Amino acid sequence: MRVDDLYLDLARDYEWLFPDDTVGSRGPFGATSPGSKDLLETALGTLPRGARVLDCSCGIGADSIALARRGFTVTASDGSSSMAAEARRRAAQFGVEMTVTQSDWRELPQRVPGRFELALCLGNSIVHAETKYNRVSAFDGIRRVLGPGGILIVDSRNWELLYESKPRIVPARQVIERNDLRCTSLYIWTIPEDLSAPCRAEIVLLFEDPTSAITHRRYVLEFMPFRHADLIADLHSAGFIVKNDSYRAANPFYAVAAAMC
């Protein structure tokens, strides 16, 4: 399924999955990539102010906005036109200057003006490539818009751990309050026996209005998982060398920083 189809309706509600101190106007860079702060900051520390950064899975633009506020020249793109539109709307709302476009990873060389010093593929987005061939093609598209010495950072859910632990219902850590609404979210997982089969996440948002009336909205996403070793191999196949890696078998998320060969 195309990313544009997956997030067509969810884009309008995606912000309800995170508190304002994560995705608001002052949200910090990397807040939606748990456990990878040190790796992300190490990469940023090598860049001068004004460096060109491509956020090529920008979602609603949380990281792009944070980076623009820190003085980087940011281009944001997403495979979902709805997510790209939401990122564009939020940047305008918060008074942040950045370029936003809709693009599949493979189409980046035709859609965005390279060359970039850093490319970000965060938010567990690479799982939507679905196959090894598509992941390698995606990384190749990103590589071709990086300049000499350019770095790619990609993060992922630890699918091996998820398939081993097989959680069923995962509630949000806190209730979100915005515009006279209270919202709590649930991830309801359906996980098969091994990683050769896709898993499903039902995202349920429960809303309470000022009269205490409860309504809900439900979204279903399907993921074709991969192992950490597969991701590393795919990066190598696309012409990257891994420079930093936060993977730990017991941690639910990780990130990898890679440079062009």
Q: At residue 252, does pLDDT exceed 60?
A: yes
Does residue 82 sit in the same domain as residue 199?
A: no
Does residue 111 sit in the same domain as residue 178?
A: no
pLDDT value of residue 36: 87
Does residue 109 sit in the same domain as residue 214?
A: no
* Percentage of the chain lying above the pLDDT 90 cut: 90
Q: At residue 143, does pLDDT exceed 90?
A: yes
Please report where in the chains the tokens 């209005």 appear, as a residue. Answer: 209
Does residue 14 sit in the same domain as residue 106?
A: yes
Strand pairing of 116-121 and 73-78? unpaired
Tens digits of residue pLDDT in 115-136: 999 999 999 999 999 999 999 9
Does residue 165 sit in the same domain as residue 69?
A: no
Number of domains in the chain: 2
Does residue 74 sit in the same domain as residue 104?
A: yes
Does residue 184 sit in the same domain as residue 255?
A: no
**Phi and psi at residue 115, to the nearest 5°:** -110, 145
- The mean pLDDT of 233-247, rounded to a whole number, is 97
CA 59 – CA 211 distance, rounded (Å): 32
CATH code for the domain of 23: 3.40.50.150
- The mean pLDDT of 40-47, rounded to a whole number, is 94
Neighbours of 245 (CB within 10 A): 15
- The mean pLDDT of 168-172, rounded to a whole number, is 97
Band of pLDDT at residue 1, cut at 50, 70 and 90:
very low
pLDDT value of residue 3: 52
Q: At residue 67, does pLDDT exceed 60?
A: yes
Does residue 119 sit in the same domain as residue 238?
A: yes
CA 30 – CA 244 distance, rounded (Å): 16
Does residue 144 sit in the same domain as residue 214?
A: no
Which is nearest to 78 in space by CA: 21, 150, 10?
10
Does residue 79 sit in the same domain as residue 130?
A: yes
215-241 exposure pattern, b = at least 16 Cβ within 10 A, e = fewer: eebebebebbbbebeebbebbeebbbe
Neighbours of 179 (CB within 10 A): 4
* Percentage of the chain lying above the pLDDT 70 cut: 98
- The mean pLDDT of 48-72, rounded to a whole number, is 96
CA 83 – CA 12 distance, rounded (Å): 8
pLDDT value of residue 6: 62
Does residue 57 sit in the same domain as residue 170?
A: no
CATH code for the domain of 205: 2.20.130.10
Q: At residue 2, does pLDDT exceed 60?
A: no
pLDDT value of residue 47: 96
Q: At residue 5, does pLDDT exceed 80?
A: no
Q: At residue 113, does pLDDT exceed 90?
A: no
Does residue 19 sit in the same domain as residue 147?
A: yes
Mean pLDDT, the chain, whole residue set: 94
Give the domain extent around 187: 161-223
